[in-house]
Structure 1
Amino acid sequence: MKNDGFTLVEALISLFIASLVLISLQFVVPLLKQISDAPKGTVLQTITHQLETQKYTITSATLTSARLKSYEGKDMYLEVKNDKLQLSGSSAGQIILMQNVTDLAVDNSNNYLNLTITTNKGKFSSILHLKKTVQNE
Structure 2
Amino acid sequence: MKVQRHKCMNERCSYDQQERIPFATGSCSYTHRLARYVIDLLKAMGLKDVSGLMDVSWDTIKDIHVRYLERHYSPPSLEGVDCIGIDEFAVKKGHVYKTIVVDLRTGRILYVGNGKGADSLDGFWKMVRKKGVKIKYVATGCMERTGCK
Q: Please indicate, yes or no, whether the TM-score normalized by the shorter chain is above 0.5.
A: no
Structure number with bigger Rg: 1
Between 1 and 2, higher relative CO (CA 8 Å, sep ≥ 6) is seen in: 1
TM-score by length of 1: 0.31
